[in-house]
Each structure stands twice: as structure tokens, then as C-alpha cells.
Amino acid sequence: MDVMDKRKLEKLSGVFKALSHPTRLWMVEQLFVSEQCVCEFVDVLKLDFSTVSKHLSILKQAQVIEDDKRGKNVYYKLRAQCIPTIISCLEDNIGK
């Protein structure tokens, strides 16, 4: 394996690691539908703002999502548009 292959595989591994937590996976599924504000995740999940922000930070670092700051609020949207297809394929294979 050459250096370029290793870097690519490490980045892909990072995406799967970011998606490996149930809360983060749920957040990503919500972003399939529309962008969401951090406050919306906090309200629905009943988690501390800092916990939600950490989950979102992990997803952003893996380049799964991106953010847009508007005034005091930060909105997130799906960056990796292939994720819904991948999740759907996996759901079909494990039986929803």
C-alpha cells in the first residue's frame, strides 16, 4: 500500500468512525431532510448543548456535514450527499 492509498483509507475510516455513534447517525439522518440548527438537536435529544456540539464537531471534522453561522445560531447541513445512499444500502442488507 502506498502513501496515497493509506491517506485515502484513513480519511474513509474517519467517516465511518464519525458515523459509528447512534446519536451522530441519527443527526445525519435528520440532515437528509433539511438543515438543522444546533438548538433543534438540543431540544429533541434532551442533551447538553456542549454534548450536541461535540457530536456535530466530529461529523464536521470527518467532512460529513458543514455549518453556516447565522447571527447567534449555527445551522448544519449534509455535505457528503452520498451518505443517504450508503445508509439505505446498509439498512437493506441488515433488515431495517
**CATH code at 40?**
1.10.10.10
Number of domains within the chain: 1
Q: What percent of the chain has pLDDT over 70?
A: 99
Long-range CB pairs of 15-19 (<8 Å, 24+ gap) are 15/62, 15/63, 15/64, 15/80, 17/62, 18/58, 18/59, 18/61, 18/62, 18/64, 19/59, 19/62, 19/64, 19/83
Decide: 67 and 76 in contact? Cβ < 8 Å: yes
Mean residue pLDDT of the chain comes to 93
Domain extent, residue 61, equals 3-94
**pLDDT at 5 > cutoff 80:** yes
Read off the pLDDT of each residue in 55-62 and give the average, rounded to a whole number. 97
- What global pTM score does this model have? 0.89
